[in-house]
Amino acid sequence: MWTIAARLRQSYPKQADVDGVRVNPLSLVPGDGHRAVAAFMQLARAAGRQREIALRISLGASRALTFALAVTLGTALAVGALPALRGTKLDLVPALKIGAGATAQRHRLRRALLVAQIAVSMLLVVTAWLFGRSLVPWCAGISSL
């Protein structure tokens, strides 16, 4: 700063009554220089902690994925177990007394629901597979950090 002050005195001898040089921090709004400096310091810290932040984000994502898988498995077990439990409590005498027409209609509905369920399941499997393939380049970039 003293070198700058000396050069200014040489360049502007009429204004040589300057005792020193005052350096103001970069500011977008006058009087807010300290806020700008603090913001730049935070940016510098964040740039230095980029690997740590990426690791924290990936851990958070893996926890969310673990939670989603647990909820999915719980739901699948509950939805699969309820019809099985209902089938074990079936009273055979009333079921045998029902006419053949009602049974055929019920079988058609069950087959249609089964076909729809298989179609949606296959759609979900293919979608998950494609999504997993699209994550491979992204995961390779994360592992190189």
16 located within any domain: yes
**100: confidence class by pLDDT, cuts 50, 70, 90:** low
Percent of the chain with pLDDT over 90: 14
* pLDDT tens per residue, range 47-89: 778 888 788 787 887 787 888 889 999 888 888 887 777 777 7
Pair 33, 67 in one domain: no
Cβ–Cβ under 8 Å, residues 36 and 28: yes
Chain Cα centroid distance, residue 76: 24
Residue 15 included in any domain: yes
Range of the domain at 29: 2-46
130 found inside a domain: yes
pLDDT for 114: 92
Q: How far apart are the first and last CA of the chain?
A: 40
Answer yes or no: do 42 and 72 share one domain: no
Tell me, yes or no, whether 8 and 35 share the same domain.
yes
d(C-alpha 40, C-alpha 47), whole Å: 11
Q: Do 62 and 42 have their domain in common? A: no
Q: Which residues contact 18 (CB under 8 A, 6 or more apart)?
A: 5, 8, 9
Domain total in the chain: 3
At 27, the pLDDT band (50, 70, 90 cuts) reads: very low
Give percent of the chain with pLDDT exceeding 70: 70
